[in-house]
Amino acid sequence: MYITVLAAFSQTAKQPDTAYKSRKLSFEEVNLVSSYYSQDGNHAAVTGGLGSEKLTDISNTIDLKLSRYDSKNRKHSFSSEIGIDHYTSASSDKIDPKTLSSASHADTRFYPSLNWTMENELKGTTIGAGLSASTEFDYQSFGANISFAKKTNDKNGEFSAKAQGYLDKVSLIYPIELRTIAPGRGENNYATTSRKTFSGSLSWSQIINKQFQLMLEGEVVYQQGYLGLPFHRVYFKDNSVHVENLPSTRLKIPLGLRANYFIGDKFILRAWLRNYHDDWGINSNALQLETVFKVTPFLSLTPFYRFYKQSAVDYFAPYLAHTAAETFYTSNYDLSQFSSDFYGVGFRIAPPGGVLKMQHLNALELRYGHYQKTTDMNANIISLNLKFK
């Protein structure tokens, strides 16, 4: 949802600094990010495409960055992130509407990650690797990634490649009326199934001139395993209820273009265009525009707008529209045809003496966004980022 923070592509000096640098592990920065997200709507997948989509989510992450130089003057950067989300969901509470509050009515997600990069400034190369994990009541995920980047000789262009993999485990929590308890398994001892996701991405960034920068990016994502959710109901024309059934493989291909244009010292225009296609039938296009207006050298405002439009998957139909003749079926409106708008503004201060005269509090950024879909769903998000250096 919240992809609007598009960092400007950094320009690199033509001659790297070859002076001796300390080999001790040193602190670079810490980022503390908190956000509050709230949504509402009338097409919950848990209740077959009808019902409340009311949901709230409170998210907090802390990101620590350290670095050191080795004996060959290569920069090693280490980052660790710990995130905790807590959500409440009205629709998830309908998995078992007879209970006062089902297990999925509220949940907490914990997601740590570790990343390492090594940059050789003389050769213009960077390699990296990372590990991540995510766990909540009914879903666990473990991921790994490797990356490589190479700058051109004049340092104005850069090619990068990245490969990622995720191994997930999904607990099969079915709607209460569709559950059967296997022998030897307790009522809350749910069976599990797996999901695998592999992706590879390539990108090319280029500094055209002092004002204009471009980036082209493409990715291929392949998924295999249980790709639906076991508590999403589907109501057929004959009023029978079923669990959504989707193919066990999915191929996704997103292509993107980013552009930044610097207008003097006060304005930066950022644009992002993406086309997406998958073999389930979704075709989508997204356009995002963002303007950074520097009120002073240390104070900036960032209004943004994003438009998105997609077609439906081949297996979507609303409440009471599917038939028993269909092999695959879902009434999840995230997979339906819709368009959406996301707009808001950001506020950032980074005074030289520190925020509120606190020397190490380098920057404060506050952002608000409003999201609305043509399927009668709307949401609001507000986030706060504190950077310590």
Q: What are 250-304's pLDDT values in tens digits?
A: 999 999 999 999 998 899 999 999 999 999 999 999 999 999 999 999 999 999 9
Residue bearing tokens 């709307």: 378
> How high is the pLDDT of residue 102?
44
Give the C-alpha separation, 205 to 283, whole Å.
Answer: 25
Q: Tell me: the pLDDT tens digits for 122-154?
A: 999 999 999 999 999 999 999 999 999 999 999
Give the bridge partners for 310, in sequence order.
Answer: 284, 338
Closest CA to 224 of 198, 248, 259: 248
Which segments within the chain are labelled E, that is strand?
26-40, 55-69, 75-89, 106-120, 125-136, 139-151, 157-171, 192-207, 212-225, 233-235, 241-243, 249-263, 267-278, 283-296, 299-310, 338-349, 361-373, 377-388
> How high is the pLDDT of residue 92?
77
> How high is the pLDDT of residue 181?
63
- Of 178-182, 196-200, 287-291, the poorest mean pLDDT is in 178-182
Coil, strand or helix at 66: strand
The predicted model gives 13-20 an average pLDDT of 48
Q: Is the pLDDT of residue 95 over 90?
A: no
Coil, strand or helix at 20: coil
With the C-alpha atoms ordered 169, 175, 178, 182, is the resulting torsion angle positive or negative? positive
Q: How far is CA 18 from CA 13, 123, 160, 354, in A?
A: 12, 12, 24, 30
Q: Predicted confidence band at 217 (pLDDT cuts at 50, 70, 90)?
A: very high
The token pair that represents 175 in the structure block: 């709607």
What's the maximum distance between 2 C-alpha atoms anywhere in the chain? 76
Q: Tell me: the pLDDT tens digits for 311-335?
A: 999 999 999 999 999 999 999 999 9
> At 289, phi and psi to the nearest 5?
-125, 140
Q: Tell me: the pLDDT tens digits for 222-241?
A: 999 999 999 999 999 999 99
Higher-confidence position of 3 and 53: 53
Q: How many residues does the chain have?
A: 389
Q: Which residues have CB under 8 Å from 209's CB, separation 6+?
A: none
| Structural domains of the chain in order of their starting residue, each with its CATH number | 27-388 (2.40.160)
The predicted model gives 26-48 an average pLDDT of 96
